[in-house]
Amino acid sequence: MTDRAVDRFFIRKGYTPRTEPDYFLDACRETEGIVHQPDVYPFVAHLGQRFGVGHLIDIGCGRAEKLAEFRDNFELAGIDFADNLAWCRKTYGFGNWIAFDLESGEDLPLPSKMVADSVVVCSDVIEHLRDPTHLLRNLRKLSQICAAIVVTTPERDLARGPDDPGPPENRSHVREWNLTEFAKLLAWADLPPSFLGLTRNSDQSPSKKTILAVIDGLHPEAFPAPPEGFTVTAIMTTFNEGDIIESVVEHLIMQGIRVHLVDNWSIDDTIDRIRRFRDRGLITVEEYPPSGPSGTFDWEDLLRRVEEIAAASDSDWVIHHDADEIRRSPWPGTTLRNGLYRIEACGYNAVDHTVIEFWPVADVRVTNLEADLRHFQFGRRPGHFLQIRAWKPQAGPINLVSSGGHEAEFRGRRVFPYKFLTKHYPIRSQGHGERKVFRERMDRWNPDERDRGWHVQYDHFKPGDSFLKSRKELEVFVESDFNSRCVVERLSGLNVPRTEPGG
């Protein structure tokens, strides 16, 4: 080793690697009852399903127990050597188990046709190698034709402390990286990750001390900005949203999105507050139904109106957008408009969303959603896990009504593998909750829609209840921390509790 960072594989000076690692015999579940990185393989399978591939390839598969759980949905291939691979061949009556030494310097013996129809996982392997450059070179070749690669490795600073001198505590590990060092290593190997963050170490603890990188060719530098004529329109339905409407519309315009507002005859100042955006991105304001207030909140009629507007739109994309939400693309610094252009270029025509809900922890007046409300939890109701609410207009019909507005259904739909983010702000203060739930919503629900199971999300509130949540049950949203610490949950919705009833 020299003092050059590349020769240290970008690990800080003074760190001592292990020169003679032990062979790793993969028997932890058998001997310890522990499932390490429990979210990695479900995430890989999720990507496989969303990318529409037929194969999962596991490089350094060990005994492949986690991979084997998905044998009913994919053709499996595992790569390893010695006792681990012999165990796989003896135990499984399925799969393609390939003997290969990752430090041999040779190319992986994988058919190109299989790789092109695969998502690849390399979980907790690179830290076992004396010289990881051969693995990185092979991953680079795979990345040029496979759908995606997921790589994991321990985060040294979080697992061992920032002053850990090495070698690693695990005698089968040669070296361990921190997040910054590993990002530099991947960049040097021409494997820029689209997403880089942390995932759970084991099913015994919520601690996230394992690096997870997703490499797929969709990183921000890979795509040009959209042409000037590329347009996206948010079709926004409102009723008495005067307290927040300006900050929501301002955000959309800054994201490059036009707004078509459908107001359900608000009796507050929603319409007055929106007028200043008419020459800045607000293209239409209509009050619906045109005959006047109906006396009930008729969500099906509003959804049918959204369907009509979307069908008649000249936009390249449309978004079914509520007035109490802020949306983000999955790539930090990439606007919604640019993100939608990017996925259209990849052949997708619909976007799902992960929902996080923000709640007040003190009774203060809220005017700017993102600045004033910062405490959140992941959405937990069934409807939060199906949010396909941005799509490219189609020649055929679009159906929002069947799902109660949770998804746009249409023939030939191709949903982008990664979810965008919806930051939802249903209740903004104690006063707002009381007004919204007990005076503006409860008496206006359409009874036929209630019979279908719609509009039940506030049923657990009773007069006199507090709409404020305890800080202890929520997290503080810091975008960079959230994108890193919740990378699996953010992109897929996996590992999110589903504990609250309602739609």
pLDDT tens digits for 374-397? 999 999 988 899 999 999 999 999
pLDDT score of 2 = 47
Predicted model pTM:
0.94
d(CA 40, CA 154): 13
* Higher pLDDT, residue 25 or 352: 352
Query: 34 CB contacts (<8 Å, ≥6 apart)?
Result: 28, 202, 203, 204
d(CA 94, CA 68): 9
What is the mean pLDDT of the segment spanning 99-120? 97
pLDDT surpasses 60 at 31: no
pLDDT score of 500 = 54
pLDDT digits (tens, 9 = 90+) for 280-336: 999 999 999 999 999 899 999 999 999 999 999 999 999 999 999 999 999 999 999
Of the candidates 83, 70, 95, the residue with the CA atom closest to the CA atom of residue 22:
83
Question: Are β-strands 282-287 and 258-263 bridged in parallel, bridged antiparallel, or unpaired?
Answer: parallel
Domains of the chain in start order, with CATH, are: 28-217 (3.40.50.150), 222-492 (3.90.550)
Letter string b/e over residues 130-162, b meaning 16 or more CB atoms within 10 A of that residue's CB: eebebbbbbbeebbeebbbbbbbbbbbbbbbee
pLDDT surpasses 60 at 103: yes
Query: 258 CB contacts (<8 Å, ≥6 apart)?
Result: 231, 232, 233, 234, 281, 282, 283, 315
pLDDT score of 3 = 60
| Mean pLDDT for all residues in the chain | 94
pLDDT digits (tens, 9 = 90+) for 47-101: 999 999 999 999 999 999 999 999 999 999 999 999 999 999 999 999 999 999 9
pLDDT surpasses 70 at 30: no
pLDDT score of 503 = 43
pLDDT digits (tens, 9 = 90+) for 184-227: 999 999 999 999 999 999 888 889 999 999 999 887 777 889 99
pLDDT surpasses 50 at 105: yes
Percent of the chain at pLDDT > 70 equals: 97
What is the mean pLDDT of the segment spanning 158-165? 96
pLDDT digits (tens, 9 = 90+) for 226-264: 999 999 999 999 999 999 999 999 999 999 999 999 999
d(CA 96, CA 79): 9
What is the mean pLDDT of the segment spanning 171-180? 97
